[in-house]
Copies of this chain bind each other. A is one copy, B any other.
Amino acid sequence: MAFPRGEDLKVTLEGAAKNYRAVWFENGRVKMIDQRTLPHRFEIVDFGRCAEVAEAIRNMTVRGAPSIGAAAAYGMALASLEELDLAEAARLLKASRPTANDLFFAVDHMLRQIDLGCDLVEAGDRYADDIVQRCSLIGEHGAALIKNGDRVMTHCNAGALASVDVGTALAPIRVAWYAGKRIFVYVSETRPRLQGMRLTAWELANEGIPHSIIADGASGHFMKDDIDMIIVGADRIAGNGDFANKIGTYEKAVLAKELGIPFYAAAPISTFDFSIDSGQKIPIENRDEGEILEIEGVRIAPKTSRALNPAFDVTPCKFVEGFITEVGVLAPGDIHKIRGGASDF
């Protein structure tokens, strides 16, 4: 299915609209939008070494589970051009961040392409194209859930930036919007790194989709009367439907259940991890406390205070109305049906 070009990531630079992917391969280098400097500076960075890509994942130049997967796939391509030990390169990339399943999925996929004798640059491009195609389908399936006039809440950024292009949680919102549905998006800012305020709002603003940013703690207040549905992304989905996503997701899921609001997670099959049967087995990354204690390089907290900074939380499957995937919207009890498809693309 061809996804309408107008729904790709739009960026307006010096008055001209352009389309970008979050990460791509060009002239022997991995290029990516630096997601740390948005929304005020749009910068493309590029890397010629696998180790640099691993560092870019670690320091969140590129983030979002599917985009991390694509970056890692291209990292493997660079490793082959560098004539590195590919098993060692795979280990390096896999060690960059612990939670998102797509990272491991993509690296394992690339290792299989080596066994098949494929060119890894071409394999990386196929992986990225495939993600975009799958996200387009997520958009189609998810948009069918959105009614004209709906007010949709999302969290963090599960947009084009997070998934090479199109988006996971934002894909249904985009498709609904381009289909002419009047929608309004509540964007929780997503402390500590503010990916909601910095990235999701930027994507929505670029496309003219009506939205407001709210403090994370205001989600429950607005959910009482003003929210018709919630769509978030996912970093890893266990075999039982428990899933890890950006810290703050769990709270919204519990509130959605309390208030009768349907709560969806949107993700491609690459995010499902059938090797674990419970969300309790998903490793949760703890990031530097400075992300909490300082904002924009300015220390906010008292000198002697410390912080705890888990990057993700786990939402039990009982709070999920459905998983919006490329093969359709699945109830948590039905995800075993895609177990085979998750082994590889």
Contact = CB atoms under 8 A, between A and B. Distances in A.
Interface stretch (A128-136, A165-173, A297-305, A332-340): A297-305
Contacts of A178: none
B221 A310 contact: yes
A307 interface: yes
Interface residues of A, number: 57
A197 B269 CA distance: 39
Contacts of A250: 220-221, 224
Nearest to A284: B221
Secondary structure call for the A interface? mixed
A222 B255 contact: no
Given A189-B191, A310-B221, A215 B292 contact: yes
Contacts of A306: 211-213
A215 to B, nearest CB: 4
A74 to B, nearest CB: 28
Centre residue among A219, A222, A249, A251 by max chain B CB count within 10 A: A251
A292 B191 contact: no
Interface of A: 39-40, 155, 187-192, 194, 197-198, 201-202, 204-205, 211-222, 224, 246-251, 254-255, 258, 292-293, 295-296, 298-310, 313-314
Which 5 residue pairs of A and B lie closest in terms of their CB atoms, listed nearest first? Answer: A217-B248, A220-B251, A221-B313, A39-B302, A216-B217
